[in-house]
Amino acid sequence: MTLADPARLRRTGGMLTALAVLGVAATFPGRAPERADDPRPNVIVILTDDQSFDTLPSDPAAMPWLQARIADPGDHWRWFPNAYVNTPLCCPSRASILTGLYSHHTGVQDNGDGRLLDERTTIAVRLHEAGYRTALIGKYLNRYPFGRGPYVPAGWDRWVGKQNLSDATTYYGYPFVDQGVPLTAGLAPDAYATDLLARKAAGFVRSAPAGQPYFLLFTPSAPHGPQTPPPRYAG
């Protein structure tokens, strides 16, 4: 497999959208098996925030473990070298990813417009109707929950929606909504946002019932600034 020329990827102000992962459940020990006669694959999409286009792939590798996994066909990853987004803003880009629509059709054209998205039209609703178990774990749309109080948008069976209020709460002490329940992460090392959300995402995959396909949209805040590393990498 030949990795794409990074120059062909388009950097956005909000996120790197060139990477999507299909069938990655093969990498999780204890995962629920797919039915051999079911043509619907398990789908995991990992959406990072403010990641520069030239970090993946790169030479030398900035993320060597991940870059090696993507390059190994046996890991069932899929690389989309020509992927791009049609708007440079975070919230409109996320709305387009969720719906497949241009931002002028979603109503979300600014980072403060997340509340305008018709949440009945997202991929979660469509896949839920098709029999998928769906989950979003991480950042949703800017300013969620839009002053409505804690809620789970239509179509999501598992929901951990992280709120992004300020730089000070990007990685510690951040509020989030877990299945409709408002919670606040602490300041202990194990509350580091990327780690906590990753544990919840892995738990969703490992607890998936046999015979039902799932869709996971995993959206950590990293590497969005401030560049706060987990304690094990500090210094």
Catalytic residue ranges: 90
Q: Which residue carries 């909000």 as its tokens?
A: 14
Q: Which residue carries 């509350």 as its tokens?
A: 191
Whole-angstrom distance, CA of residue 168 vs CA of residue 214: 34
**Rounded alpha-carbon distances, angstroms, from residue 26 to 23, 29, 201, 208, 219:** 7, 8, 14, 13, 20
| C-alpha dihedral (50, 53, 59, 64), degrees to nearest 10 | 40
Closest CA to 125 of 207, 217, 194: 217
Element (H, E) at 28: none
Contact predicate 49/223, CB 8 Å: yes
